[in-house]
Amino acid sequence: MAALSLRVVAECRHSRARACELRLPHGAVDCPVFMPVGTQGALKGLTAAQLAALGCRLCLGNTYHLGMRPR
C-alpha cells in the first residue's frame, strides 16, 4: 500500500467540487477537512482537548519555521 494516496469519492458535474479520502500512514481522512496549521511547532488558540472535540484528524506543521529555530 502506498504511504499517501487520494481517492475521489464523489464529484459535482456542475462545479467540479470533489469529496475525497486521503489515506495517510496513521489512517484515512475524509476531505474537505478542517486542518489547523501549527506555526513554530505550536497550535495557538486551541487546546488538544478542543481539537479532539472538533473532530480534528489532521494538523499541519510548518517545517520551515521548525528548521530555522528548533527548540
pLDDT of residue 26: 82
Cα–chain center distance at 33? 7
The reported pTM is 0.60
**DSSP per-residue letters across 23-50:** EETTEEEEES----EEBTTB--S--HHH
Contacts of 71 (CB under 8 A, 6+ apart): 41
Per-residue tens of pLDDT for the chain, all 71 residues: 567 899 999 999 999 999 999 898 888 888 888 788 777 667 788 888 988 898 887 887 777 766 776 55
Question: Tell me, what's the pLDDT at 42?
Answer: 72
Q: Tell me what pLDDT residue 2 has.
A: 66
pLDDT of residue 70: 59
Q: How far apart are CA 15 and CA 34, in angstroms?
A: 21
